[in-house]
Structure formats: C-alpha cells, structure tokens
Amino acid sequence: MSTAQNRPPVMEIQRVSMSFGGVQALDDVSFGVDEGRILALIGPNGAGKTTLLNVIAGTLTPTAGGVRYRGHKLNGLPTHQRVRLGIGRTFQQALVFGEMTVLENALVGCHVQGRSELFGAVIRLPYVRREEEDARLEALRVLNLVGLGSKADVPASALTFGQQRLLAIARALAARPSLLLLDEPAAGLNRMEKNDLGDLMRRIQEMGTTVVLVEHDMELVMRLAEWVVVLDHGRHLAEGTAREIRRNQAVIGAYLGAEVA
Amino acid sequence: MNTRVVPLSRRRDWLGLAGLVLVLGTLPLWLSSPYALSTLVLIGIYSIVTIGLCLLMGYAGQISLGQAAFFGLGAYASAILTVRLHWSPWLALPAAALLTGLIALLFGLPMFRLRGHYLAMGTLAFGFIVELVLNEWKAYTGGPSGLPGIPRLTIAGTPLRTDMVYYYLVWGFAILALVLGLNIVNSRFGRALRAIRASETAAQSLGIDVARYKLLTFVVSAVYASVAGSLYAHYMIFVSPTAFDFSTSVRLVLMATVGGLASIWGAPLGTALVMLLTLGLRELVPLVGGSNSGEFQIIAYGFLLVLIMLYMPAGLTVWLTRTWSQQRPRWEQGLAVARARLAGRR
C-alpha cells in the first residue's frame, strides 16, 4: 500500500475468496482502504465487485479469507451489527421504502442511533419523544445534505429514479457511517445528476467518511477517486492512483478483452 | 430548517379514537336486544386479537395460522388458574399473558432464523398441537367437554354480571389495545417493521435486526390474543377446545385481511364485518334450504375473501378512506349549492 501516511488502513480485505458452487466469484483478493479516502472499485462486468461489497457488508460469508475493520475481524458478524460498527451501504437498486415518506425513510436510517425499544414505544416514555425529536432533526439534516429537504413529506415512491438514489444515500448517511459502500450510485443518472452526485460525495468525504465506490462511469471515477482497485474475473488485477490505472496495460487489456468477448 | 413535522396520520388517529369512543359509548343506548349486546362484546374481544394479528401481518409481513391457539392459551390459562388454583381473575389475566408471551417467544426463537413463510407453517402446526393438548390433558382442561364454572371478573369485590358492564370493559380493553398498537406503529419500532415489510435487505443494511423485530412482534400479537382469551373465558364462564380450533384461526386472519392490513384501524372494522356476516349467514342459510353447518360458512368466507381481493385488495379501511377523499369535493360542492339555495330563498 503506497500511502503517504503511516497510519494503518481503516479496512483491510485479507485474501478473500468466494465461490458459488463451481463459480469462483472472488479469488484471493487483498487490499487496504485508507481512512478518509474515496476508493473506487472497478472492473468489467462479473469481476466480483458487488460480491466483494456484500462480503464487506456481511451479506455474504466468504469461503476463505476475511475482512478486518479498525482492528476487528468481521468474520461471522451479521450485517446489522456491522452497521453499528460504522459500515453503511447502498445498493444498485435504490431499495427505498416506497410506501413511507422521504422523511420516514431517513428516520429509518437513524435507527442505529436510537435506543428506544418496544416497551418505551408502547407507553411513550418521555425519553422516547426526545429521541424521536432528535431523529427528526438528524433526518432533515441528511435530507438537506442530499437536496431532498423540500420533499420530506412526499412518499418515496413518488420520487424520480435519481432522487430515490439520493434518498438511499441520505438514509445510509443518517446512520453516521465512518465507511460508506456505494454500489454503482451513478448508474442511470443523467449528466447533471452525476455532477451533483460527485459534489455530494466530496461533501461526504469532507465529513470524514471513507467511501468505497463501485462504479462503471470512468469519468466519475477519475474525477473523484484517490485510489482505484481493479478486479477482473474475481482477481485483484491492479491498484493505484486514477492516473496510474488509466495507463496500466493489464487494465486496458482486461477492459478491451471484456468488450471483445 | 427547523420545521417540526407532525405526521397527519397522528391527528387523524386521535380524531378516529374520539369518534370510536363516542360511537361505542352511546351504542348500547340504541340497542334493545341483549343478543346484540353480547355480539358486540364478542366483536370487542376478537378485535383485540385481530389488532395484534394486524401488527404481525400488516407491519411485520408474517402470517400466523395459529392465532386461535394463543387466544386459547390465554383463555385456558385464565380458566385453569381461577377454577383449579382459585386465583383472582385479575391476577390470572396478566399471568396468562406472560405465560403465552413466553411460549410464543420460545416457539418463535427458532422460527425467525429462517426466511420466508415458515411462520405460517409453524403456527399451523402449533395450533394443532394446542388443540390436541386442550382435548387430551383432561385433568386440567376438562377435555372435549370443556371447563365450566369460570368466575366472572370483579370490580371492587362485586362480580360483573351484566353484558352491559362487560361491553364497556371489553371495549375499554380493545381501545387500549388500539392506542398501544398505534403507539407501536408510530415509533422507531413501528418504522423498523414497515421498513422490513418494504425490503428486508435494505432494512438490514440500516442496522435493523430483522429476525428480532419479527420475533418481538410475534410475541406482542400472542400477548394480545392471550388477553382477549382471558376476557373471553371470564365472559363466557365456560371454555371448550372448539372455540380455539383451526377454523377460528382462519376466521381471525380473514377478519384482519378484510379490514385491511395497511392500518390497524382495519382490525375492529373487519372483525365486526365478518362477525355480522357469520351471524347473518346463520339466519339466512336455513331459509334457502341449506343445512346450518360449517361448510356453508366456509364457502361464504371464501367468496368474501375473493371479493375483497378483487375490489379492495388493500382492505376495507383503505377503500373507505380513498373513496371518502375522492367523493368529498363532490359532497362539499353539493352542500354549498344547497346552502346557497337556502340562503337565496330567505
């Protein structure tokens, strides 16, 4: 890891392999993610990028290897507990809660910060109300951050596709992640929306959040990512700065090969 | 931006509650038949079960085909504690609820580690097991012939004898069940449930322990059923296994679905409708030459369910509120025209 600082990476992917039946989706992948950076994970279709995100988030258990996060081994830890450790994520599909309002979606994002349980909810203890009020403020804050503050009371299903994407990011931010995994956030967005998304990611980074970004849009990757990791057929093919990766012959070959195939 | 957003539904809930209390409070004054009153008591009791079921089915997205078993556990626990062990009914009721909740917890613990419709299968089996125990454990339950001599609930030492008193008591419980249910729905817990129903994957990614929330809701629904069961036992002063069989479970699911799973407001509405329909059928079927047996009821339930699914798939409550908001402008316009005419005439 050619980092300037000598701090240990916030997350280390350690020799992760994942096979589904006979298909080797990930094959002995290792790399580190430095704190506060935007790291892009790229590669041709089927390279194993989303699989790796699922391994990090805890949706999938790797067949070998593991993930180390802030010194903890994450092996066997279920998704919802990883969120409590500060690992947030979004999906390729926005997966917003369509029947709920935009504000309620963001409020669900605040879930991990709350402590109120069933009992408190049933009889509406004073601290539950206070907590609810705090959550509302936090939810409005993240909605304003992504520019959806004015849509708070609209049902999420009424938002455009791009707005739903932003809502999914807001929702994940409400949990105050220190590491945010974004799975193709720009797919299907128009040029202007992509620009806004880029600005938003810069702001997220400025808040101190580390971002791992799976993305096909090379322009966006080149503009944002300080470090790029390239996967190909489940293997770690290369990593480096965006500029280095653009000139890497192996990477160019992999992409050309994918296009020919 | 420091706007305090108060969801509209909250205000509507309070209005609805005020209306419900008003209607229910004055309803017995209009009714002369004691039969009608006892029907209303039963509707109240079943409503408590269906409110819990609505939380489970509508909010946690899980189906229980054995809810009558928890209803029966509450009823029999209360009956056995008061008849055989001479407890006070007011002590037996929470004890039964605690016991039933515990049983639901132990039963649900393995069920919710699995995804999908295992709960429906599991609760179906659970219902049959409970039915079997109620029939066979004769020393305590009295077997198929039932358990008579259950004491009535008392207030300040006086046993409650009239249906009128039971009516207010039972509906007091039902309204409390509704209020507590609404509190659950409008909380962090309820939001998590709705998130789970919309997308388990997304809910999980936001730190929600999906299995735990489903399990807790299942336990809540069982406790609701148990409280209703205790009230049932002390109202009927007799329990027998047939009141808690599989067909009762099906009827409970039907009640919750007819009312609409999108809101727990649907539960009492659906319960009343299905109960009245059942009674109506009991009167009507012999008139057209059918036998007064369960088969006709099941056919009618089937028809009702199909009609509901075809014409109001979201249930009665949603259909009513939607129709109301669609028709309101027309009615208001009509009202305004009438008022203008009246004013013109003067």
The number of distinct structural domains making up chain A is: 2
Same domain, A69 and A183: yes
CATH no. for residue B267? 1.10.3470
* Residue B266 included in any domain: yes
Q: Confidence band (pLDDT; 50, 70, 90) for B9?
A: low
Q: Confidence band (pLDDT; 50, 70, 90) for B339?
A: confident
Give which of A69, A75, A74, A73 is closest to A33, Cα–Cα.
A69
Same domain, A67 and A188: yes
Answer whether B207 sits within 8 Å of A80, measured CB to CB.
yes
* Residue B2 included in any domain: no
* Alpha-carbon span A166 to A172, nearest angstrom: 10
CATH no. for residue A20? 3.40.50.300
Lowest model confidence (mean pLDDT) among A185-189, B104-108, B176-180, B319-323: B319-323
Mean pLDDT on B55-78: 93
Give which of B38, B77, B48, B63 is closest to B250, Cα–Cα.
B63
Task: Name, in order, each residue with C-beta under 8 angstroms of B151's C-beta and a sequence gap of 6 or more.
Answer: B82, B83, B89, B159, B234, B237
Sort strands A11-20 and A64-69 into parallel, antiparallel or unpaired.
antiparallel
Answer whether A111 sits within 8 Å of B1, measured CB to CB.
no
Q: Helices B89-111 and B67-83 meet at what angle, rounded to 10? A: 140
Residue B26 has pLDDT above 90, yes or no: no
Give the tens place of pLDDT for each residue, A132-167: 899 999 999 999 999 999 999 999 999 999 999 999
E strands, B84-224, are 147-148, 154-155, 158-159
* Alpha-carbon span B255 to B300, nearest angstrom: 13
Mean pLDDT on A207-227: 92
Q: Which of B187, B199, B216 has the CB atom closest to A95's CB atom?
A: B199
| Contact (Cβ atoms closer than 8 angstroms) between residue A100 and residue A164 | no
Give the tens place of pLDDT for each residue, B193-205: 999 989 999 999 9
Give which of A175, A136, A174 is closest to A152, Cα–Cα.
A136
* Residue B235 included in any domain: yes
Residue B311 has pLDDT above 90, yes or no: no
Same domain, A196 and A261: yes
Lowest model confidence (mean pLDDT) among A9-13, A104-108, B285-289: B285-289
* Residue B237 included in any domain: yes
ipTM: 0.90
* Residue A92 included in any domain: no
Domain boundary pick from A126, A149, A176: A176
Domain boundary pick from A122, A148, A176: A176
Same domain, A111 and A134: yes
Partner B contacted by A151 (CB < 8 A): no
* Residue A213 included in any domain: yes
Q: Pick from A175-179, A245-249, B119-123, B305-309 the range whose average pLDDT is largest.
A: A175-179
Same domain, A218 and A255: yes
Lowest model confidence (mean pLDDT) among A46-60, B218-232, B272-286: B272-286
Lowest model confidence (mean pLDDT) among A55-64, A247-256, B58-67, B188-197: A247-256
Answer whether A116 sits within 8 Å of B187, measured CB to CB.
yes
| Contact (Cβ atoms closer than 8 angstroms) between residue B191 and residue B184 | no
Please give the span between the terminal C-alpha atoms of chain B, in angstroms, as a whole number: 51
- Helix, strand, coil in percent for chain B, rounding step 5: 80, 0, 20
Percent of chain B with pLDDT over 90: 49
Helix (H) or strand (E) run with residue A73 in it: strand A72-73
* Residue A79 included in any domain: yes
pLDDT of residue B35: 83
| Contact (Cβ atoms closer than 8 angstroms) between residue A64 and residue A75 | no
Domain housing B300: 10-345
Nearest CA in chain B to A53: B205
pLDDT of residue B3: 35
Same domain, A183 and A78: yes
Give the tens place of pLDDT for each residue, B236-265: 999 999 999 998 998 899 899 888 887 888
Domain boundary pick from A176, A193, A227: A176
| Contact (Cβ atoms closer than 8 angstroms) between residue B199 and residue A91 | no
Can you give the pTM of this predicted structure? 0.86
pLDDT of residue B81: 96
The number of distinct structural domains making up chain B is: 1
* Alpha-carbon span B76 to B163, nearest angstrom: 21
Query: What mean pLDDT value characterizes chain B?
Result: 86
Choice between B103 and B27, residue whose per-residue pLDDT is larger: B103
Nearest CA in chain B to A86: B207
Q: Residue B122 is encoded by which pair of tokens?
A: 């599991």
Domain housing A153: 97-176
Same domain, A42 and A116: no
Residue A1 has pLDDT above 50, yes or no: no
